[in-house]
């Protein structure tokens, strides 16, 4: 394994990481997962403390980070925005500098990407984006790990995302083209990925010899797909739009009829939580092509790799 080039850096989006750095994280995650499965103690972060700021509710993010830092020998502190002075108007810049004196890393799960970027600008310790409305890099590291475990490769595969052009659409698009995968996505007009993010990703896709397809036709997007992915139609903060979105996305449900166009051995992924009967049917999410629970477990291993790479004083990890 090559030397780690990520020590001390932030993880704000996968745009920030080279293909080689993502490969490093995936390979490290595989080795950490193997140690975990063999019940081997591996604690390179002994004595380290991760602060975890939550403005959005969470199951997988909180449990995987908290369990992960503990298993690596460190401690995780759950910091609700309601309990911090952030919730009473303290500037993010002040909070960042204060926490930098107490902690070895910060994970934040919030709404606005600019808040994560400002936190990283003023913090002197690594900042990890646990989710914003625009990006979800930690989830996509776990997704890439899962796809490679099952398919044996990433390069040359076609990854299709069906649904709202949200943080998952953005991060999957970036992660896919960085790793040499074709990316396709379908959503109703007005719900497609942000043009500025697509434009930036298209430059990477062109350099890597892969393609990005943005369409309003779910059948076109699914055609020949090796991996099909979806997410809820109304994310946190969009509850007031639930009824409207149910109507507009009704023809974008991932179901058996739609999947007839995918590759015969396609994989189905979902970042969870899922609304069975809405964005995906039970036949698909609970079927033989689904790897959602392997994917969910891999949040733990991918994030442990990320924390080790960013927060350890060691330069490389060759086991």
Tell me the binding residues for L-ornithine. Answer: 167, 231, 235-236
Tell me if residue 100 falls in helix, strand or coil.
helix
Is 34 in the active site?
A: no
Q: Does 271 participate in catalysis according to the annotation? A: yes
Give the pairing type, strands 267-270 and 227-230: parallel
Active-site pick, 170, 245, 299, 301: 299
The catalytic residue among 170, 271, 301, 303 is: 271
As given in the structure block, the two tokens for residue 222 are 């699914």
Phi, psi (rounded to 5 degrees) for 199: -60, -40
- Going through the chain in order, the beta strands assigned E by DSSP cover 49-54, 75-80, 105-109, 127-131, 158-162, 182-186, 212-215, 227-230, 267-270
The residue annotated as part of the active site, out of 109, 182, 270, 301, is: 109
Q: Which of 10, 139, 164, 270 is catalytic?
A: 139
How many helices, marked H, and strands, marked E, lie in the chain? 12, 9
- Asked about 276 being catalytic, the answer comes back as no
d(CA 188, CA 207): 28
Of residues 23, 226, 231, 270, which has the active-site annotation? 231
Q: Is residue 289 annotated as a catalytic residue, yes or no?
A: no
Question: Which segments are annotated as binding site?
Answer: 58-61, 85, 109, 136-139, 167, 231, 235-236, 271-272, 299
Q: In sequence order, what are the beta bridge partners of 248?
A: none
Annotated binding-site residues for carbamoyl phosphate read 58-61, 85, 109, 136-139, 271-272, 299
Q: What 3-state DSSP class applies to 18?
A: coil
10 is catalytic: no
Could you tell me which residues are beta bridge partners of residue 109?
54, 131
The answer for residues whose C-beta is within 8 angstroms of residue 63's C-beta and 6 or more apart is none
Residue 233 CB neighbour total at 10 angstroms: 26
Which candidate in 136, 245, 270, 301 is catalytic? 136
Active site residue 104: no
**Token pair in block for residue 49:** 């403390």
Catalytic site residues?
Answer: 109, 136, 139, 231, 271, 299
């Amino acid at each position: 394994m090559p030397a780690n080039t990520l020590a001390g850096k932030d993880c704000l989006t996968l745009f920030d990481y080279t293909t080689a750095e993502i490969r490093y994280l995936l390979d490290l995650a595989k080795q950490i997962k193997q140690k975990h499965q063999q019940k081997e103690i591996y604690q390179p972060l002994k004595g380290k403390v991760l602060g975890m700021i939550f403005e959005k509710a969470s199951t997988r993010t909180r449990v995987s980070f908290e369990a992960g830092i503990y298993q690596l020998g460190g401690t995780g502190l759950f910091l609700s925005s309601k309990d911090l002075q952030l919730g009473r108007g303290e500037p993010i810049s002040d909070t960042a500098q204060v926490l930098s004196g107490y902690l070895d890393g910060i994970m934040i799960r919030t709404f606005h990407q600019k808040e994560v970027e400002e936190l990283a600008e003023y913090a002197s310790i690594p900042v990890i984006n646990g989710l914003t409305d625009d990006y979800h890099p930690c989830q996509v590291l776990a997704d890439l790990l899962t796809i490679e475990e099952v398919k044996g490769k990433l390069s040359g595969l076609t990854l299709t995302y069906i649904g709202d052009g949200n943080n998952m659409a953005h991060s999957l698009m970036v992660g896919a083209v960085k790793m040499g995968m074709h990316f396709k996505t379908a959503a109703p007009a007005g719900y497609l990925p942000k043009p500025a993010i697509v434009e930036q990703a298209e430059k990477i896709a062109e350099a890597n010899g892969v393609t990005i397809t943005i369409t309003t036709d779910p059948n076109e997007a699914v055609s020949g797909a090796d991996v099909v992915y979806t997410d809820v139609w109304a994310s946190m903060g969009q509850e007031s739009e639930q009824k409207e979105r149910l109507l507009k996305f009704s023809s974008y449900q991932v179901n058996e009829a739609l999947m007839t166009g995918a590759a015969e051995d396609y994989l189905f992924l979902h970042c969870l939580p899922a609304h069975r009967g809405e964005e995906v049917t039970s036949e698909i999410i609970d079927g033989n092509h689904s790897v959602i629970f392997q994917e969910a477990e891999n949040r733990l291993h991918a994030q442990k790799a990320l924390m080790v790479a960013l927060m350890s004083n060691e330069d490389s990890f060759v086991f």
